[in-house]
Amino acid sequence: MKNLPVQRIYSLLLLLILIILTTSLGCATIYQQQKKKMNENYTEGIQLYKKGDYTQAKERFETVLSIDPEHTGARQYLIITTEALQKRAQKYYDAGMNYKRKGDLENALAQFLEAEKRDPGYKDVKAQIENIRNSNYGRKKYDYYYSTAKKQFEKKQYIDAYKTAHKAELYNPESLELSALKTRIKNQLESASYPYTSKALEARKKNKFEVAKTYCNKALNVNPWDEKAKNILKDITRMETLNELYASGEKAYHRGDLITAYRLFKRLDNEEPGYKNTSNYITTIKSKLEGNINTYYNNGITYYEQDNFEAAIAEWDKVLLIDPDHKKAREYRERAVAKMELQKTLR
């Protein structure tokens, strides 16, 4: 280093500083992205749990914990979600055992398969399924359904053929001959629905939702398993929901209910970034609400001191909506939730 010119040393130091700054900024960006992903998955997980969609909820909470293993809320929700899935699995498993005792192996298999969906590792559910499939009864059932599906296909009864082939698949999901037959049936079904799905897609691109829906329903009438038609309908439903949210956000904004408007536009932005004029509304409303943060925070303190924890939480939710990093509001909110839960246990 002694032999290097001063200018060279200076250049190297500048380069080192730039590398450190760039690395720090990059790490900060990654952290923010991960934090956003974590918060989104946690919120979605709670919503899915409340809807009873425990399988999807569990996946969301596991994603949160993969980012932050110490996330208390996600850990608690994962426990109760797993318990809920096990209870559902038990319900179907017990029903399967009941059918099996009666000798009704077809319904027993259906129940065991439902139990496996809820919890693949539940008791000996996999063994119960394999025992039925490998039994003489299971092999005969497969042969019967396969031959029936083949005859229906030859008679061009494609919908019935596909349903029957699905029944055969329950008894032998690894069958290559069945897989080939299902592919042939599916190709015929897709040929029948394609003219409708193509017209539905054209109408969707032009935002002619009702026309698109009509063509999708026609497609599903001839091919109930047409995924393109289902996806177009899902997309239309999503867009209609976004339009309704946007309209509700505008109405709330114009009547002066800025908190409601902000929540609606934030939700819109999460679901569809760049939707219409959402980002401008968010910026405008946030600048107006930022001046109210102290008022909402202090209102929360007042309610908290009066043991009105529900009202306090509502006020701090406003603060955290505007400023998610408001540490004091978050801490007080957690205390209020704990005290509110304690009140419930003492009633």
Backbone angles phi, psi at 272, to 5 degrees: -150, 80
pLDDT in the model for residue 53: 86
Average pLDDT over residues 262-271: 94
Per residue in 165-184, pLDDT tens? 999 999 999 999 999 999 99
Residues 84 and 49: their CA atoms lie apart, in Å, by 9
pLDDT for 258 beyond 80: yes
pLDDT in the model for residue 8: 63
Residues 259 and 249: their CA atoms lie apart, in Å, by 10
Structure tokens at 120: 């693949």
- The secondary structure of residue 339, as a DSSP letter, is H
pLDDT in the model for residue 118: 87
Alpha helices in the chain (DSSP H): 6-51, 54-67, 72-102, 105-118, 125-134, 136-154, 158-171, 176-205, 209-222, 227-254, 258-271, 278-289, 293-305, 309-322, 327-346
Q: Count CB neighbours of 109 within 10 A.
A: 23
| Number of Cα atoms under 13 Å in the Cβ half of residue 43 | 9
Residues 182 and 178: their CA atoms lie apart, in Å, by 6
Per residue in 204-244, pLDDT tens? 999 999 999 999 999 999 999 999 999 999 999 999 999 99
Per residue in 68-122, pLDDT tens? 888 988 898 889 988 888 888 999 999 999 999 999 999 999 999 999 998 888 9
Residues 264 and 247: their CA atoms lie apart, in Å, by 10
Q: Is the dihedral of CA 179, 142, 167, 218 positive or negative?
A: positive
- If one compares 104 and 344, the residue with the highest pLDDT of the two is 104
pLDDT for 4 beyond 70: no
256: left (phi over 0), alpha (psi -120 to 50) or beta: left
pLDDT in the model for residue 81: 87
Per residue in 127-137, pLDDT tens? 999 999 999 99
Tell me the average pLDDT of the chain.
91
pLDDT in the model for residue 54: 86
pLDDT for 142 beyond 90: yes
pLDDT for 271 beyond 70: yes
Q: Is the dihedral of CA 137, 174, 57, 122 positive or negative?
A: positive
Amino acid at 185: I
Residues 15 and 9: their CA atoms lie apart, in Å, by 10
Tell me, yes or no, if the two domains 35-134 and 265-346 fold the same way: yes
pLDDT in the model for residue 38: 87
Domain ranges of the chain: 35-134, 265-346
**Residue given tokens 């109210």 in the structure block:** 292
Average pLDDT over residues 259-275: 94
- Percent above pLDDT 90 for the chain: 71
Q: Which CATH architecture has domain 265-346?
A: Alpha Horseshoe (1.25)
pLDDT for 346 beyond 60: yes
CA distances from 3 to 6, 7, 11 (A): 9, 12, 15
**Residue given tokens 């959402």 in the structure block:** 278
pLDDT for 303 beyond 90: yes
Interhelix angle for 327-346 vs 293-305, to 10°?
30
- How many whole angstroms from its chain centre is CA 160? 32
- The secondary structure of residue 267, as a DSSP letter, is H
User: Given pLDDT bands bounded at 50, 70 and 90, which one contains residue 7?
Assistant: low
Q: Which CATH architecture has domain 35-134?
A: Alpha Horseshoe (1.25)
pLDDT in the model for residue 9: 66
